[in-house]
Amino acid sequence: MQYERRWQRIFRVAAWWNVLVGAGGLIAPRWGIELFYGANAVSDDLIARLAWGDFSVCVLLFGVGYFIVARDVRKNHGLVVLGVLGKAGVLVSFPLRFFAGEATGWILIPAAVDGTMAMLFVVFLARRQRLLK
C-alpha cells in the first residue's frame, strides 16, 4: 500500500506540473515564448500563436492523464508509456534548441524536470508488477 501511495504522489506531482505549465502557456503565451525563446520569438503570426496554444493544450492534457493514472496506479499504464515518450522528446528537443541558439537557458528547466519524470515513469513501468500483487 505504501508503494502504491508513493507512485500516486509522483503522478500527482507530474499532473500538476503539466497542468500548470500548459495553463501558463495558454494564459500568458507572450511571457512563456519570451522566457523560453527570447523577445525576438514573439510574433503576431497566426500559425505561430496557434502552434504555441496547441502545444500548451497538449501539455495540459498530459497532466489530466497523469491525474487519471494517480487515481489508480494499477491501471492506465498506456498513458504512462505515452508520458515517457513525450517527456523523452522534451528531454532531447529542448536542449537541442538551446545549443542551436534558438532558445534561452530557461528551456533547460522543463527539459530537466521532464527528463527526471521520464526516468521515474520508466522505473514505474519496470516495477509495476509489484502493484498487482
Q: Encode pLDDT of 49-82 as tens digits.
A: 999 999 999 999 999 999 999 999 999 999 999 9
Residues 115 and 91: beta-carbon distance below 8 Å:
yes
Q: Could you tell me the pTM of the whole model?
A: 0.91
| Domain parsing of the chain, residue ranges | 2-132
**Per-residue model confidence as pLDDT tens digits over 76-108:** 999 999 999 999 999 999 999 999 999 999 999
Express as a percent the part of the chain with pLDDT over 70.
Answer: 98
In the predicted structure, residue 132 carries a pLDDT above the cut 80: no
Determine the Cα–Cα distance for residues 40 and 22; give it in Å rounded to an integer: 22
Mean pLDDT of the chain, nearest integer: 95
Strand, coil or helix: 27? helix
Residue 24: is it exposed, middle or buried by C-beta count within 10 angstroms (0-12/13-18/19+)? middle
Q: Which residue has the higher pLDDT, 131 or 65?
A: 65
> What is the C-alpha separation between 20 and 24, in angstroms, rounded?
6
